[in-house]
Amino acid sequence: MKEIKKQILKKIKEYDSIIILGHQRPDGDCIGSVLGLKDILNTSFPKKKVYAPANDSVSYLDFLESREKELQPEIYQESLVIVLDTATKERIDSKYYHLAKETIKIDHHLPVDDYGDINYVDVKAPATAEIIVDFLLTFKKQLKLTSKGAKALFTALITDTGRFRYSSVTSKTLEVGAYLLTYDVDFEKIYNNLYLKDLEVLKLEGYLNLNFKTTENGVAYFYIDKKIRNQYNISIEDAASLVNCLDSIKGSLIWVLFVEQEDGTIRARIRSRYVTISDVANNYRGGGHKQASGATLLEEKEITLILKELDMRLKEFKKENGGLM
């Protein structure tokens, strides 16, 4: 690991122009890590040009620094591109990334696509932000961070760890979090930005709690189609965040929220305790982490199919592991 980190720092030093990219449909870890790394590079190498362009954004992260619009392709041609938190090249949020002189991938998703000239993937890290802060701490004498960057990285860390609650959290994660809080980070404000709910969302949450279903062996699920979403007047992102409503049901070690998209496809967010579900997501144009994955379904019929696979998975798991809830 140390060797690859050295290689990355060497590359960063070589370039005068560096572009940091994230993935489409960005989340807190994606945007926070991008802005955090941008802050580190700006602060440590003030002469370099560091860009963080984005085509896609999400409104609930507007409280962080905004990213610039897509760059001219010519800038890519002379730049080092660092892509964060993005497993496959199809998901990179730029149509010009391939023009880069060189590309570095830094990620924590299960590796399916080594699109970088350097690929630094640590699937044990619960958030890309942890990898970025670890990188900073490895080269403490050469790299710096400001409280603006610390705020972005802390936001990234808490979103991908569910506020340090997921099983992927390690002592390293807490160390990294503790380090970030040595900066002036107002985490009460961050929490308010991330976790206060609109009334509409809360009401849909109530509806979901009353009406979700479970499969024979306990997979909990709910389908938010356009009709329900319009009725409650909430955005696709807000709808998708409701997957967490289903995360604490005894016996339901797998839970899924389906959300119909504008184009009629259905995005599935799949989560679990103990059970590996990423391979099932892979069967439906998706992937992610062992216990937190996404998939894209082309029609409603596929809801039944993926639920059947997940139900089988849960049945086998319960047979082998009995008592675990």
Q: Tell me: does residue 260 bind Mn ion (CB under 5 A).
A: no
Task: Determine if 29 is a binding residue for Mn ion (CB under 5 A).
Answer: yes
Binding track over 292-321 against Mn ion, x by CB under 5 A: ------------------------------
Question: Is position 85 an interface residue for Mn ion (rule: CB under 5 A)?
Answer: yes
Minimum CB separation of residue 114 from Mn ion in Å reads: 18
Side-chain half-sphere of 29: how many Cα atoms within 13 Å? 25
The nearest distance, CB 162 to Mn ion, in angstroms, is: 12
Q: Per CB under 5 A, does 130 bind Mn ion?
A: no
Site stretch for Mn ion (CB under 5 A), options 27-35, 143-151, 182-190, 288-296: 27-35
Ranked by CB distance to Mn ion, the top (closest) residue is 29
In the chain, alpha helices (H): 2-14, 28-44, 73-77, 128-138, 147-161, 171-180, 187-195, 199-211, 226-232, 236-241, 278-282, 301-321
**For residues 127 and 234, which CB has a smaller minimum distance to Mn ion in the complex?**
127
Q: How many residues bind Mn ion (CB under 5 A)?
A: 4
Kindly tell me the number of DSSP H helices and DSSP E strands found in the chain: 12, 11
Q: How far is Cα 132 from Cα 40, in angstroms, rounded to an integer?
A: 9
Least distance in Å: CB of 158 to Mn ion?
A: 12
Burial 272-310, CB ≥16 within 10 A → b, else e: bbebebbebbeebebbbbbbbbbbebeeeebbeebbebb
Name which of 125 and 314 has its Cβ closer to Mn ion.
Answer: 125
Residues β-bridged to residue 258? 223, 268
Q: Around Cβ 33, how many Cβ atoms within 10 Å? A: 31
* Residues 104, 209: Cα–Cα separation, whole Å: 43
Q: Write the CB contacts of 159 (distance below 8 Å, at least 6 apart in sequence).
A: 27, 28, 29, 32, 127, 194
Residue at 126: amino acid letter: P
Query: Which of the stretches 125-133, 268-276, 280-288, 302-310 binds Mn ion when contact is defined by CB under 5 A?
Result: 125-133
The token pair that represents 60 in the structure block: 């609930």
Options 1-9, 79-87, 111-119, 274-282: segment touching Mn ion (CB under 5 A): 79-87
Q: How far is the CB of 120 from Mn ion (least distance, A)?
A: 14
Which residues within the stretch 146-205 sit at the binding site for Mn ion (CB under 5 A)? 160
Min dist. Cβ of residue 87 to Mn ion (A) = 9
Taking the C-alpha atoms of residue 223 and residue 212, their distance in angstroms, rounded to an integer, is 8
User: ∠ CA 304-306-309 to the nearest 5 degrees?
Assistant: 110
Binding span for Mn ion by CB under 5 A among 84-92, 147-155, 161-169, 187-195: 84-92
CB of 283 to Mn ion, least distance (A): 22
Window of 25-33, 42-50, 245-253, 307-315 that interacts with Mn ion by CB under 5 A: 25-33
CB of 29 to Mn ion, least distance (A): 3
| Interaction site with Mn ion (CB under 5 A) | 29, 85, 128, 160
